């Protein structure tokens, strides 16, 4: 079975997270199909056109060591500012250190 191809938002998100956070584990799931017609799906944006508006991200990285959950989320949101400007609407995250993941 062929792997689904990532669109521009998912590809950019993965590239930034991998290069900046050097994750030991990463899982990105596009859940946009669950939100079709949702008010956050702004027509005309790159994310809407690519059907990439809602994602779930699970990430394990040493970069989260010593950071509370809010700071971890802020760190990831900061990396993805451009993707949110392009229409990424929602990103559900589970962010752990390697120690927390084991």
pLDDT at 4: 53
Comparing 11-15, 47-51, 52-56, 76-80, the range with the smallest average pLDDT is 47-51
Taking a C-beta distance cutoff of 8 angstroms, is the pair 96, 60 a contact? yes
49 pLDDT more than 50: no
Cα gap 98→2, rounded to integer Å: 30
Question: 93 vs 14, 20, 98, CA distance in Å?
Answer: 13, 16, 16
């Amino acid at each position: 079975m062929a792997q689904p191809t990532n669109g521009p938002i998912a590809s950019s998100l993965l590239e930034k997270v991998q290069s900046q956070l050097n994750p030991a584990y990463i899982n990105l799931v596009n859940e946009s199909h669950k939100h079709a017609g949702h008010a956050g799906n702004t027509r005309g944006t790159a994310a809407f056109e690519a059907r990439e508006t809602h994602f779930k991200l699970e990430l394990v990285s040493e970069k989260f060591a010593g950071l509370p959950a809010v700071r971890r989320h802020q760190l990831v949101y900061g990396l993805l500012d451009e993707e949110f400007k392009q229409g990424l609407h929602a990103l559900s995250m589970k962010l752990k250190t390697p120690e927390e993941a084991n």
